[in-house]
Chains A and B, each alone.
Chain A
Amino acid sequence: MSEGWNDALRMRPGSPPTSGKQKRMAEDGKDDSVATDDDSDLTAADGSLNNTMVEEGSTLLRRMEICVAEAEKRSGKNAVSMQETFTVYLIETRPMDAVAEGRNPAPDSLWRRYSEFELLRNYLIVTYPYIVVPPLPEKRAEFVWHKLSADNMDPDFVERRRVGLENFLLRVASHPVLSNDKILYHFLTEEHGWKEVVYETGFQAKADSRLRALSATFRVRNPDKRFMEMKHYSDELQSHTSQLLRARARVADRLYGVYKVHGNYGRVFSEWSAIEKEMGDGLQSAGHHMDAYAASIDDILEEEEHYADQLKEYLSYAEALRAVCRKHELAQFELEMASQDLISKKQQREELATGIVRTFSFKGMTNKLFGQEAPEQREAKLKLLEELITEGEETVKEKTVECEEHVERAWVDMQRFKEQKDKDLREALINYAVMQISMCKKGIQVWSNAKECFLKM
């Protein structure tokens, strides 16, 4: 169990509080129903642990410890009755108060596969279109370099996915809005029948229409400028992170080559030392250090994959951000359409009522040519129009509220996201620099040792 926690912490030390010492990291330092302990120093010592972790009310994560502890292979029959192998992940939960009181109860647990996580996320996206929903770890291995496997069943890939899934749950469960969702709670606590519950919400229909709407092209007259800027930013973020990831993978590949070739020195020095008398020992031991140098790159690059994973998370986040902006465009567009429709209906009513044709219409033409219709028909038409206008006014009201609510709520979450992103990525970059330093230190050591050996030659 500790593995999962340590990995998650290692991966994003600054992200949602994970150790069960959830606190309001607000500047006022108020502390609700959470146990105190030694790392209360954290908030006191440095006010820079900022407000991204402020949770209004109590989020799920405050009441419950969550982790994705293990991964296992399973075999079974899939939807088309074909035998398949897949991986399931163990989700463990424990009530926070029990933990805080020092009791150590056994965690509740259930198994979920990646597709169920996907289902949960799709549900959340549809249900909370104004939230930048945390992304899942990648479906397929991307930005793969030479040695890294693109195979979904590869143990390293599975392990990194496990960490990513845990991270997803922690982010969702500490989100001020998402964490209150019932379906999320079921996901974490009810192994069987969860899928049926999700489908019963009818979200699938919404999901399909949303997908259609978002991929359509439409022209919005008055989108909120801030959202347009945000959308533009999300495109930039996506483009920059993917370029960076691609370049990084190529650098990793080449660096791997450089280190591994040094292994050949190891082999040759060893063989050479066999024919030398005075130089033999020096060459032999230098060869060992060359072998060590060549071997060291594996750990170095494995650690760098964590950095890549952090960037990949924000690559996916960029998409989620873009979706929120698109949703705004859609809502605004629908509002504009509804308003437009209402206006034209009102115009039609005016025409019918006064007989004055303001704008050209085919009906108007034919009326002129063939005479106007009978009063009873006109009455009927007017009545219908009135009904439609009333409906239309309702629609416009609804759409206006929808749009305004979306703007308001989305803006709040986008701000929250921005702060979280700045903090997380800043830390990721610094940790990357630390990794490079660690690599330098290893290099210094190996070559200093090799030099000592050469001196003995």
Chain B
Amino acid sequence: MSGQTVAADLSGHMLGLDEDEDLEVFTKNSSLADGSPMPNSPGSMVNQYRLEEDEEDQLGAYTKDIFVTVDNPESNVTAIETFIMYRVVTKTTRSEFDSSEYEVRRRYQDFLWLRSRLEENHPTLIVHPLPEKFVMKGMVERFNDDFIETRRKALHRFLNKISEHPILSYSQHFKVFLTAQDLVSQKKQGPGFLSRMGETVRAVANSVRGLRSRPEEFTVMQDYMENFSNKICSVDKVTQRIIKEQREYLDELKQYSPTYTQWAESEEELSQPLKAIASCVERCSKETEEQIHHLSEVLVPTLHEYVLCAETVKAVMRRRDNIQAEFEAKNEALVSRKVDQEALQEEVDGLADRVELANNALRGDWSRWQNGMRTDLRSAFISTAEKNVEHYEKDNAFIHSTAVSQTSFSVMRKSSMLLRSVWRLKM
């Protein structure tokens, strides 16, 4: 892969002739399951290791040659506004890059710019979504530490997904984003606002017109995406609900342990076991807090990302439909009209090519995306299950050592069991 030189600047809808080469490489790699999760979280690092162990042979052909991190959010205050700048560090061995290390500062708007460029240039590739512009529910302020951290992680994941993509990572815009000290002037280049507007209008017009015949495979894909979108939203909602219930449980636990401590004060013999139970309950509180934290930091962001992904894929499919619709419209015109046939023919041929290329691009990216989705969700669920096991194991051990390690207890247990068994004999 690293040996390939890809024409990265694919502007407008004209996908270059070397696209075929790209696609060949692309499809070869799509089975390599390179949708590795964000190297950041321990859970996914472990899983990545596991993945690498299992699929070492297959992965042999693919080596990551560009590493991007997003960190160090800093507040920037100007006369007009306040915003956060993130540090983006790139380390690469790719020859397209003049240097092997870059460090730049980017704000959320810049990420938006990058993504919209990538989507424009590759309308039927699945470009990983960005975290949302505004926070839902309005519960968290824009500059709240948790919010910033969540966003930073999502931005980091976004750039990593792009850098791992066999086509997108070679995009000129991506390179500019990672390297240019002054992004503002770079942003001014490329198709302007008006041409983009024109695109949208055409797209809307075509979608209104409707599609003659969508290939079966894309209908299947669309149905799947509808269902997937529903399911992933449900899982997200259930998880949020669990967090809510856990928080309420935690609140009650915090009220519960003091009742044992207070009682212990008026007792002599019972003071010790009461205090022991109090400390067990306190421990349980701490563990529950960690559980909640893990859910919020690991499972929820991943689910949320795929909720957004689902929307992205649906949009990609709509764009593919539009491309086909445009071709069909022109083709119809060609068939019905008798004049300007030559010129129109050329256009129609071009559009037909475009449709084919768009379909191939989507097809290829689709299986890649599916593998990535599977890996990401799988690892998030595994991590959650592990965390829960850990929670119970720690609790178990603590209760054992604190409240149950008493010899008189084991004797009493024995006696009650004996009494019970004697009775059974009688009956």
Which residues of chain A have a CB within 8 Å of any CB of chain B?
1-2, 5-6, 9-10, 13-14, 18-19, 21, 37-39, 42, 45-46, 48-49, 99, 104, 233, 236-237, 240-241, 243-244, 247-248, 250-251, 253-255, 257-258, 261-262, 264-265, 268-269, 271-272, 275, 278-279, 282, 286, 422, 425-427, 429-430, 432-434, 436-437, 440-441, 443-444, 447-448, 450-451, 454-455, 457
- Report 27 cross-chain contacts, Cβ distance below 8 Å, ordered by A residue: A1-B427, A10-B416, A13-B412, A13-B413, A14-B415, A21-B422, A39-B415, A39-B418, A39-B419, A46-B411, A247-B259, A251-B252, A251-B256, A254-B245, A271-B234, A279-B374, A425-B270, A429-B273, A429-B277, A433-B403, A434-B404, A440-B396, A444-B393, A447-B389, A448-B389, A451-B389, A454-B385
Contact present for A251 and B253 (CB under 8 Å): yes
| A313 CB, nearest partner CB in chain B, Å | 15
Give the residues from 360 to 402 in chain B that come closer than 8 angstroms, CB to CB, to chain A.
374, 377-378, 381-382, 385-386, 388-389, 391-393, 395-396, 399-400, 402
Asked if B293 is at the interface of the complex by the 8 Å CB criterion, the answer is: no
Asked if B228 is at the interface of the complex by the 8 Å CB criterion, the answer is: yes
Asked if B167 is at the interface of the complex by the 8 Å CB criterion, the answer is: no
- For B253, give the chain A residue with the smallest CB separation: A251
Cβ 8 A contact of A37, one of B235, B255, B422: B422
A residues in contact with B427, CB < 8 Å: 1-2
Name 9 extra pairs, CB < 8 A, besides A10-B420, A426-B273: A39-B415, A237-B266, A257-B248, A436-B399, A441-B392, A443-B389, A444-B396, A447-B388, A451-B386
Cβ 8 A contact of A426, one of B224, B262, B266, B270: B270
A residues in contact with B277, CB < 8 Å: 429, 432-433
Asked if B116 is at the interface of the complex by the 8 Å CB criterion, the answer is: no
Cβ 8 A contact of A450, one of B245, B249, B385, B404: B385
Asked if B81 is at the interface of the complex by the 8 Å CB criterion, the answer is: no
A450 CA / B403 CA spacing, docked (Å): 29
Contact present for B382 and A254 (CB under 8 Å): no
B residues in contact with A430, CB < 8 Å: 273, 403-404, 406, 409, 412
Contact present for A48 and B408 (CB under 8 Å): yes
Contact present for A443 and B388 (CB under 8 Å): yes
Asked if B28 is at the interface of the complex by the 8 Å CB criterion, the answer is: no
Asked if B97 is at the interface of the complex by the 8 Å CB criterion, the answer is: no
Contact present for A422 and B249 (CB under 8 Å): no
A residues in contact with B268, CB < 8 Å: 422
B residues in contact with A38, CB < 8 Å: 418, 422
Contact present for A454 and B381 (CB under 8 Å): yes
A457 CA / B396 CA spacing, docked (Å): 29
Q: Is the interface of A mostly helix, strand, loop or mixed?
A: helix
Proximity string of chain B (302-320) to chain A, C-beta cutoff 8 Å, 1 when within and 0 when not: 0000000000000000000
Give the residues from 231 to 282 in chain B that come closer than 8 angstroms, CB to CB, to chain A.
231-232, 234-235, 238, 241-242, 245-246, 248-249, 251-253, 255-256, 259-260, 262-263, 266, 268-270, 273-274, 276-277, 280
Q: What are the 5 tightest A-B residue pairs by CB atom distance, in nearest-first order?
A: A13-B416, A451-B385, A433-B403, A240-B263, A254-B249
Contact present for A6 and B270 (CB under 8 Å): no
A residues in contact with B251, CB < 8 Å: 254
- For A37, give the chain B residue with the smallest CB separation: B422
Asked if B212 is at the interface of the complex by the 8 Å CB criterion, the answer is: no
| Given A240-B259, A244-B263, A451-B389; A14-B416 close (CB under 8 Å) | yes
A432 CA / B273 CA spacing, docked (Å): 11
Asked if B424 is at the interface of the complex by the 8 Å CB criterion, the answer is: yes
Contact present for B396 and A272 (CB under 8 Å): no
A444 CA / B393 CA spacing, docked (Å): 7
| B256 CB, nearest partner CB in chain A, Å | 4
B residues in contact with A244, CB < 8 Å: 256, 259-260, 263
Contact present for B255 and A443 (CB under 8 Å): no
A257 CA / B249 CA spacing, docked (Å): 8
| A48 CB, nearest partner CB in chain B, Å | 5
Contact present for B382 and A265 (CB under 8 Å): no
| Given A39-B418, A429-B273; A451-B382 close (CB under 8 Å) | yes
Contact present for A440 and B416 (CB under 8 Å): no
Contact present for A6 and B224 (CB under 8 Å): no
Contact present for B392 and A2 (CB under 8 Å): no
A106 CA / B224 CA spacing, docked (Å): 69
